Amino acid sequence: MKKILLGNEAIVQGALEAGVDFVSAYPGTPSSEIGIIFGKIAKKHGIYFEFSTNEKVALEAAVGASFSGLKCLVAMKNFGLNVASDALLPFVYTGTKGPTVIIVADDPSCWSSGQSEENSRAFAYLAHIPILEPSDAQEAKEFVKLGFKVSEKFNIPVIVRTTTRIAHQKMPVEIGKIKRSKTTGRFVKDVNRFVTMPPRVLEMKEELLDKIERIREFAEKTGIIQGRASDKLGIITSGISYLYVMEVLKEFKMNIPVLKLAFFYPLPEKKIKNFIKGLKKVLIVEELEPFLEKEIKALAKENNPKLQILGKDVLPEVRELNTEKVGLAVAKLSGKQYRIPKSSSLNVPKRFPRLCPNCSYWFVFSAIKKAAPKGTIFGGDIGCYMLAGFPPHNLQDYLSCMGSSIGIAHGIKKGSGQKLITLIGDSTFFHAGIPALINTVFNKSNPLIIVMDNRITAMTGHQTHPGVGQTGMGEPTEEIKIDEVAKACGVKNIKVIDPINIKELQNTIKEFLNKKEVSVIVARRMCAYWAKRLKRKK
């Protein structure tokens, strides 16, 4: 039976068919639906699911569950892997006990990930972690299962890397049988296996490198070669780029050989060498940085030194690919004429995203505008309140990664002494804001921090967080209060204000801006959109 599934839904289906036991996630577009769906279905399937405080903790939770023998899935967006990377490297050294797959969703063209155009494939080199790259929703499901298989066979965590156009792509997906899950395993002590300390850790690295070579042998049997063998032209590609290649070849009515890789790391070197043997020209089609191209250039040196390799000389390194861009590259490879249809620019003015009509942030932004003296610096963080940076608000002078508004605020205060207000959301505060808040107290700086506490992780589709009082599976839990956290961190000036009391908010901003120590205002009012949804549910 086939069902229309979103790439992320297909990933969930793949995990269910593999019999996943333990799932943890921190929401982030374009990976968020994975956690949302597991939150809804975990109980029914006898699976444990949690939204963790951040991606590092999500991965650590899975490390522990894997050490206890459970089959684990962790889902995050690209930047989440940066946060989780500290836990990732030793996990690849110790290896898994219960098979573990990590879903990492990249976002070429930065549709919903503004901090950088990250290519998470680079983590393969840093961590020696196998990476699989599906091309479509069907393959996303298959590769999750393949990932579990590789993980089980070699006791190593495996990354399945998607991009926006796979995560948010829909297609008919073949539905298979769901395997039974279990929620209880057992941690069996094994110091030699679970403790990374020298000198053992260096042996672990040797074992890991050896393991990677064995996985490379396995990878030789994966991937697809299609098209007619030719002694002249060929294309090597993987992931979403493969779809654009096939679309172009269909349009050009060309039938040249295409090698589509499943593994980005470790690469099936023999397979690639065989493929390029005797070719005159090969085109490498990959998004963002030319990692495959560099590898293949090195392989060709031994194997086919005269091979002409086209890659980033005919394809852009910035922004996602599409059929048109790949069409131009294939035309250059084959000497065909191809013109991208000229698109006349109509000069349609940009429509900026806006705060929802009843959003409490309108009140906060307005109070800040009225209360902050000229020249005040405004720090931004990751959440709906990034809209402060767009007209009509224009209240965002710097913006970086999750939780950074406070850390950077401290540096600006120390470095310049200028008046400064930072905005940070409730979920973001728990995710990465707390260590930075402690640092402002510890190292004595005085930014004004406004926590935009809308009682939910709103931007990514309304997931729970530690301040909500409910777990990702909908169970009641301790509600951690942001003002109490701030107090425990040593903050003296704290006020919780419902932002519709705009006058009080304004006066407090004015008052706190003159304090010698750090100040925290918790602007607490539930996300209007979420409040409406909750009402409808009842």
Partner 1 sequence: MPETFNIIISGTGGQGLITLTQIIAEAALIEVYDIKTSELHGLSQRGGEVETHIRFGEKVYSPLVALGSADLILGLETLESLRAFFYANSKTIFLVNKFTLSFPGSPKEKEILRKLKTITKNPKIIPASEICQKELGKEVVSGIYLLSYAVHKKLIPLKPNSILKAITKIVPEKYLDLNKKAFELAAKPGFKHG
Residue whose CB is less far from partner 1, 274 or 322? 322
Instruction: Choose, by CB under 8 A, the member of 180, 351, 374, 535 that binds partner 1.
Output: 351
**DSSP string of 498-518, one letter each residue:** -TT-HHHHHHHHHHHHT-SS-
Stretch that binds partner 1, among 123-131, 239-247, 279-287, 500-508 (CB under 8 A): 239-247
* The residue to which tokens 């002494």 are assigned: 417
> Shortest approach of partner 1 to residue 306 CB, angstroms?
32
> Shortest approach of partner 1 to residue 171 CB, angstroms?
5
- Dihedral Cα 148, 149, 154, 160, nearest 10 deg: -40
> Shortest approach of partner 1 to residue 236 CB, angstroms?
17
User: Which residue, among 277, 263, 163, has the nearest Cα to 223 in the 3D structure?
Assistant: 263
Give Cα 27 to chain centroid, integer Å.
8
> Shortest approach of partner 1 to residue 384 CB, angstroms?
6
Residue whose CB is less far from partner 1, 172 or 474? 172
CB count in 10 Å sphere of residue 414: 12
> Shortest approach of partner 1 to residue 531 CB, angstroms?
16
Instruction: Choose, by CB under 8 A, the member of 307, 387, 420, 436 that binds partner 1.
Output: 387
**DSSP string of 81-135, one letter each residue:** HHHHHHHHHHHHHH--SS-EEEEEEE-TT-SS--S----GGGHHHHH---EE--S
Is 322 an interacting residue with respect to partner 1 (CB under 8 A)?
Answer: yes
User: Which residue, among 98, 114, 94, 89, has the nearest Cα to 28 in the 3D structure?
Assistant: 114
Stretch that binds partner 1, among 118-126, 153-161, 231-239, 382-390 (CB under 8 A): 382-390
> Shortest approach of partner 1 to residue 169 CB, angstroms?
4
User: Which residue, among 219, 151, 159, 184, has the nearest Cα to 11 in the 3D structure?
Assistant: 159
Instruction: Choose, by CB under 8 A, the member of 405, 460, 463, 506 that binds partner 1.
Output: 460
Is 247 an interacting residue with respect to partner 1 (CB under 8 A)?
Answer: yes
Residue whose CB is less far from partner 1, 246 or 482? 246
Q: Which residues of 348-386 are buried (b: 16+ CB within 10 A; e: fewer)?
A: eeeeeeebbeebbbbbbbebbeebbeeebbbbbbbbbbb
Residue whose CB is less far from partner 1, 366 or 471? 366
Per-residue mark of binding to partner 1, 171-210 (x: CB under 8 A):
xx--------------------------------------
Is 532 an interacting residue with respect to partner 1 (CB under 8 A)?
Answer: no
Instruction: Choose, by CB under 8 A, the member of 180, 189, 231, 348 that binds partner 1.
Output: 348
Is 537 an interacting residue with respect to partner 1 (CB under 8 A)?
Answer: no
Helix H, strand E, coil C: the string for 50-82 is: EECCCHHHHHHHHHHHHHCCCCEEEEEEHHHHH
Instruction: Choose, by CB under 8 A, the member of 84, 101, 285, 384 that binds partner 1.
Output: 384
Is 340 an interacting residue with respect to partner 1 (CB under 8 A)?
Answer: yes
Q: Can you give the length of the chain in residues?
A: 538
C-alpha distances (whole Å) from 407 to each of 103, 410, 411, 465 are: 28, 5, 7, 21
CB count in 10 Å sphere of residue 115: 15
* The residue to which tokens 């509600």 are assigned: 479
Per-residue mark of binding to partner 1, 104-143 (x: CB under 8 A):
-------xx-----------------------x-------
Stretch that binds partner 1, among 308-316, 334-342, 437-445, 476-484 (CB under 8 A): 334-342
Instruction: Choose, by CB under 8 A, the member of 153, 170, 319, 336 that binds partner 1.
Output: 170
Q: Which residues pair with 72 in a beta bridge?
A: 22, 100
Residues 508-515: contacts with CB under 8 Å, at least 24 apart:
509/367, 509/368, 509/371, 509/372, 509/421, 509/448, 509/450, 510/371, 512/448, 513/371, 513/372, 513/373, 513/376, 513/419, 513/421, 513/448, 515/446, 515/448
Is 538 an interacting residue with respect to partner 1 (CB under 8 A)?
Answer: no
Is 226 an interacting residue with respect to partner 1 (CB under 8 A)?
Answer: no
Is 526 an interacting residue with respect to partner 1 (CB under 8 A)?
Answer: no
Residue whose CB is less far from partner 1, 288 or 371? 288
Stretch that binds partner 1, among 179-187, 410-418, 457-465, 489-497 (CB under 8 A): 457-465
Residue whose CB is less far from partner 1, 39 or 447? 39
Is 393 an interacting residue with respect to partner 1 (CB under 8 A)?
Answer: no
Is 29 an interacting residue with respect to partner 1 (CB under 8 A)?
Answer: yes
Instruction: Choose, by CB under 8 A, the member of 198, 305, 335, 353 that binds partner 1.
Output: 353
CB of 509 closer than 8 Å to CB of 371: yes
**DSSP string of 467-501, one letter each residue:** TTSB-TTS-B-----HHHHHHHTT--EEEEE-TT-
> Shortest approach of partner 1 to residue 17 CB, angstroms?
20
CB of 84 closer than 8 Å to CB of 55: yes
User: Where does this chain bind partner 1 (CB under 8 A)?
Assistant: 2, 4, 29-30, 32-33, 111-112, 136, 164-165, 168-172, 243-244, 246-247, 250, 322-324, 327, 340-344, 346, 348-356, 384, 386-387, 391-392, 459-461
